[in-house]
Amino acid sequence: MQAMANGMSGMAALHTHDATGTIHVESNIIRNYTLGEFLNIWGGTGH
């Protein structure tokens, strides 16, 4: 897993394991996650 981008410790809940494009969510928190959040973690614009 990739470490979180903005200097936060721990691992990102939204991540990929390979080049298939499948986004995985691994979190103890049950909530809706967005594509924008994923893009922000990986350095995209999220907009």
Q: Supply the pLDDT for residue 6.
A: 47
Q: CA angle, corner 34, sides to 30 and 39, nearest 5?
A: 125
Q: How far apart are the first and last CA of the chain?
A: 24
pLDDT top residue among 37 and 9 = 37
Give residue limits of the domains in the chain. Answer: 1-47
Assign 3-class secondary structure to 17-42.
CCCCCCCEECCCCCCCCCHHHHHHHC
At 12, the pLDDT band (50, 70, 90 cuts) reads confident
Is the pLDDT assigned to residue 2 strictly greater than 50?
A: no
Query: How much is the average pLDDT of 3-14?
Result: 62
